[in-house]
A and B are shown apart, each in its own frame.
Chain A
């Protein structure tokens, strides 16, 4: 187990380094100049009329006139010392900017995830539990709908109805629990849809397995079969898409934070990318990569907990949800 964790940590470091390097190369290959963008006032700015010599001086101050390998070595060395540098746009340290935005996004994504789990699991469970065909059809239609609704549109619709028409929740800002409701619901919809889709499919597959028949034959109740046997097995594929869910949450945060005028990593990313603020984009990429690496690590470590056979076989390996068939879980 120790060797396994060490290997995974090694892989994580390689992933982070690769993400950092690829971002660096892409940003520097772009033809535009972050200093010129800053002088243009970023988004919504007007034309800059600054003397070219002064522009060159500012570029030198940020080390943007050094040869590419020097800039790369410098940036990497600094990053290894946990110094992510300062934003080109306003000179603020990248770590403090991320530190300011991160708690808000964490709060938003955590509440959205909690809501998504309730909605997603609930939908999947009811769709396989119900004996009424029309209810099943209706519930099974919800996940594809939830995935395909544009988050942007959902957010604006919710604001229109529940903030502008009927003033129940505030439309702006991130103060208090009330301001968290509409953004969380908006973000939870697509995420719950992915969970429901995968889980419902897993449940249907599991319920058709021979062991379910065996369990029923042994006299297990309908609820016990559903919860204890089928649900447990269906959880595995759903867990496998943990990385996808985290991706959905982060990508959704960009839209949700913009629509609801919230502070957060999503908004910060948009301004950083628009302004081609290299140190800030680098810092955000590292953060996102870390979140993905950690999520996948947690998923991998959870596997043996849920599926004892993985534990028995030694080194856990993540099964592919589509091909996996489990024969008889603990009953």
Chain B
């Protein structure tokens, strides 16, 4: 079962050496004082093509990056997590967080010439509900949606059957981005291949070829950029080409040899060579649930809170960061630090080997001859099944927890194998992350009424998660989120490990290619020196 190979041990050693050499190097940002130039094509490499570029249907980061440029949203979330006006100039939220009234700006149109009005808002939200599971993210954001009223063309009133404070942030995502009314009822497959995909965004679909590339063209006459943009009017670039490059070393070489202009898909050990030398890099942690171990508490081993806590205390998160990116920081709560309202629970997440040993002693697990603890003739062995390319980090965790007598087995499989195991519930520890720039993501994952990732019984934390969903007041809500996160971390329902960072690596000719609130990319302000 132990899958660690000499080769991956070597890779790990190589990583450690590399990061040791490059430690302290800061990422270079290209000069901001340059004057933007209009025109040109920017070639951006993505690593996977999920066969769909409809932002309402996809859940994959690369595809969402494309979709973001095609659709505008009712609101925009700035990098501090604040919700700002975009297609909606203003809005009101009812005190019970069930009714949201949006006042739309005048003059915005879809690229087929039809107006962005309240009827379009209604058609989109109804359409996403009709897509059901195909709208894998949007359908989650619209749980409890009862309908949209359109008292006049500029006013849309969205109602929910239960409080849904997260909905305001959801309106800023590309997953609820607005498509023209005919698109909302078009065949989902033709929306995926872009042939019926019409949005109001700064770019339109030029062409899409599966496994090859997607070309987006500048939208002529675009004049409704979101709050916080560096300019107004049309986008600077004439076109963007998203080139699918599945092989990591080819992405690195292509950027180095300038066959592409920018990418987010550079392996962390290759990043230092793009700091300076005619390139720049910039990183941002993805908001939401960081990479996490979720113990299955219906299993005898993890039904004991002390074992879960010991597992969490045995992990040295500072050391995990050292083999990731030099600029990353250790995970500090059940939420990634870039999530709005993310609390700081770092004290509860500090390495505590003595504490872990004491807890395991109390729980009756005794160290055996091989250093692995045993109880009633059973070894303290747990298996984590995963498909992500994070083997090196997980191998380090494996070594760390072994020091307190926990035998962590790593089983890397395909997406197919892993999802099958996860859905059957036949696994000890789940491992994954989830990008969402709203703290409600905690409820989605942990609440016993939703996914219940821990297979646990109802407790106080579920009440807190339900309450925050019903609290539109930002400060009050943050407090409830902080309490929930603290409980999740202290009771080790959540064992956060490290944050997923998105890193842009680009040639110096590329300027103002930026992150948006969910750490996906925003190309509207981007321009290229000719």
A residues touching B (Cβ–Cβ < 8 Å)?
Answer: 30-33, 35-37, 39-51, 54-55, 57-58, 86-87, 89-93, 97, 100-101, 156, 159-160, 163-164, 167, 170-174, 258-264, 267-268, 271, 274-276
B188 at the interface (CB under 8 A from A): yes
Check B59–A261 contact: CB distance below 8 A. no
B35 at the interface (CB under 8 A from A): no
Check A33–B420 contact: CB distance below 8 A. yes
- On whether A276 and B416 interact (CB within 8 A), knowing A58-B133, A261-B246, the answer reads yes
B47 at the interface (CB under 8 A from A): yes
A242 to B137, CA, bound (A): 49
Check A49–B259 contact: CB distance below 8 A. no
Within 8 Å by CB of A163, from B132, B211, B253, lies B253
Check B416–A90 contact: CB distance below 8 A. no
Provide the main secondary structure of the chain B interface. Answer: mixed
A58 to B134, CA, bound (A): 7
B476 at the interface (CB under 8 A from A): no
B residues touching A (Cβ–Cβ < 8 Å)?
Answer: 47-52, 58-63, 132-134, 136-137, 139-140, 143, 187-189, 192-193, 209-213, 243-247, 249-250, 253-254, 256-257, 259-260, 414-417, 419-421, 423-424, 432-435, 444-445, 450-451
For the complex with contacts A163-B253, A261-B245, 20 further pairs of A-B residues with Cβ separation under 8 Å are A31-B420, A36-B420, A39-B133, A41-B63, A42-B48, A46-B432, A54-B139, A57-B132, A58-B132, A86-B189, A87-B51, A92-B193, A100-B209, A159-B253, A164-B257, A171-B254, A172-B243, A172-B260, A261-B246, A271-B211
Q: Which chain A residues border B256 with CB–CB below 8 Å? A: 164
Q: Which chain A residues border B143 with CB–CB below 8 Å? A: 51
Minimal beta-carbon separation of A164 from chain B (angstroms): 4
Within 8 Å by CB of A173, from B52, B189, B210, B212, lies B212
Can you report 20 A-B residue pairs in the complex whose CB atoms are below 8 A from each other?
A32-B419, A37-B416, A41-B59, A42-B50, A42-B51, A44-B48, A44-B62, A46-B59, A48-B59, A90-B52, A92-B193, A93-B189, A156-B249, A171-B254, A171-B257, A261-B244, A261-B250, A263-B210, A264-B211, A274-B416
- On whether A263 and B209 interact (CB within 8 A), knowing A33-B423, A57-B132, A167-B257, the answer reads yes
A263 to B414, CA, bound (A): 22
Q: Which chain B residues border A172 with CB–CB below 8 Å? A: 243, 245, 250, 254, 259-260
Q: Which chain A residues border B243 with CB–CB below 8 Å? A: 172-173, 261
Most B CB within 10 A of own CB, among A33, A45, A156, A268: A45
- On whether A97 and B210 interact (CB within 8 A), knowing A261-B246, A276-B416, the answer reads yes
Minimal beta-carbon separation of B274 from chain A (angstroms): 14
Check B50–A45 contact: CB distance below 8 A. yes
Minimal beta-carbon separation of A224 from chain B (angstroms): 49
Check B59–A263 contact: CB distance below 8 A. no
A56 to B500, CA, bound (A): 30
Within 8 Å by CB of A41, from B58, B260, B414, lies B58
Check A171–B139 contact: CB distance below 8 A. no
Within 8 Å by CB of B139, from A36, A50, A92, A93, lies A50
Most A CB within 10 A of own CB, among B188, B420, B424: B420
Minimal beta-carbon separation of A80 from chain B (angstroms): 23
Q: Which chain B residues border A97 with CB–CB below 8 Å? A: 210
Closest to B50 in A: A42
Check B47–A44 contact: CB distance below 8 A. yes
A101 to B246, CA, bound (A): 16
- On whether A90 and B47 interact (CB within 8 A), knowing A97-B210, A174-B212, the answer reads no
- On whether A36 and B209 interact (CB within 8 A), knowing A41-B50, A45-B60, the answer reads no
Q: Which chain A residues border B435 with CB–CB below 8 Å? A: 46
Minimal beta-carbon separation of A31 from chain B (angstroms): 4
Minimal beta-carbon separation of A21 from chain B (angstroms): 21
Check B415–A40 contact: CB distance below 8 A. yes
Check A271–B420 contact: CB distance below 8 A. no
Check B253–A40 contact: CB distance below 8 A. no
Check B187–A91 contact: CB distance below 8 A. yes
Q: Which chain A residues border B246 with CB–CB below 8 Å? A: 258, 261, 267
- On whether A46 and B193 interact (CB within 8 A), knowing A37-B416, A41-B136, A276-B416, the answer reads no
Check B60–A42 contact: CB distance below 8 A. yes
- On whether A44 and B132 interact (CB within 8 A), knowing A49-B444, A97-B210, A261-B244, the answer reads no
A87 to B210, CA, bound (A): 13
Minimal beta-carbon separation of A307 from chain B (angstroms): 43
Q: Which chain A residues border B61 with CB–CB below 8 Å? A: 44, 46
Q: Which chain A residues border B50 with CB–CB below 8 Å? A: 41-42, 44-45, 89-90
Q: Which chain B residues border A33 with CB–CB below 8 Å? A: 419-420, 423
Check A49–B140 contact: CB distance below 8 A. yes
Minimal beta-carbon separation of A174 from chain B (angstroms): 7
A89 to B243, CA, bound (A): 20
Q: Which chain B residues border A163 with CB–CB below 8 Å? A: 253, 257, 259
Closest to B192 in A: A90
Check A171–B259 contact: CB distance below 8 A. yes
Within 8 Å by CB of A49, from B134, B257, B451, lies B451
A172 to B254, CA, bound (A): 8
A167 to B250, CA, bound (A): 14
Q: Which chain A residues border B432 with CB–CB below 8 Å? A: 46-47
Check B212–A39 contact: CB distance below 8 A. no
Check B51–A89 contact: CB distance below 8 A. yes
Check B419–A92 contact: CB distance below 8 A. no
Minimal beta-carbon separation of A162 from chain B (angstroms): 11
Check B51–A55 contact: CB distance below 8 A. no
- On whether A100 and B210 interact (CB within 8 A), knowing A47-B432, A49-B434, A159-B250, the answer reads yes
Check B433–A46 contact: CB distance below 8 A. yes
A90 to B210, CA, bound (A): 11
Check B139–A51 contact: CB distance below 8 A. yes
Check A156–B423 contact: CB distance below 8 A. no
Minimal beta-carbon separation of A186 from chain B (angstroms): 13
Check B193–A43 contact: CB distance below 8 A. no
- On whether A54 and B451 interact (CB within 8 A), knowing A39-B59, A156-B249, A170-B259, the answer reads no
- On whether A54 and B133 interact (CB within 8 A), knowing A43-B48, A92-B193, the answer reads yes
Closest to B265 in A: A44
Q: Which chain B residues border A170 with CB–CB below 8 Å? A: 259
A275 to B244, CA, bound (A): 17
A262 to B450, CA, bound (A): 41
Minimal beta-carbon separation of A187 from chain B (angstroms): 15
Check A156–B250 contact: CB distance below 8 A. yes
Check A171–B51 contact: CB distance below 8 A. no
A46 to B287, CA, bound (A): 13
Check B433–A171 contact: CB distance below 8 A. no
Minimal beta-carbon separation of B75 from chain A (angstroms): 21
Q: Which chain A residues border B415 with CB–CB below 8 Å? A: 37, 40, 42-43, 45, 274-275
Within 8 Å by CB of A54, from B132, B137, B209, lies B132
A160 to B137, CA, bound (A): 39
Q: Which chain A residues border B58 with CB–CB below 8 Å? A: 41
Minimal beta-carbon separation of A175 from chain B (angstroms): 9
Q: Which chain A residues border B420 with CB–CB below 8 Å? A: 30-33, 36
Check B419–A40 contact: CB distance below 8 A. yes
Most B CB within 10 A of own CB, among A46, A48, A87, A173: A46
A260 to B188, CA, bound (A): 30
Q: Which chain A residues border B433 with CB–CB below 8 Å? A: 46-47
Q: Which chain B residues border A100 with CB–CB below 8 Å? A: 209-210
Minimal beta-carbon separation of A302 from chain B (angstroms): 35
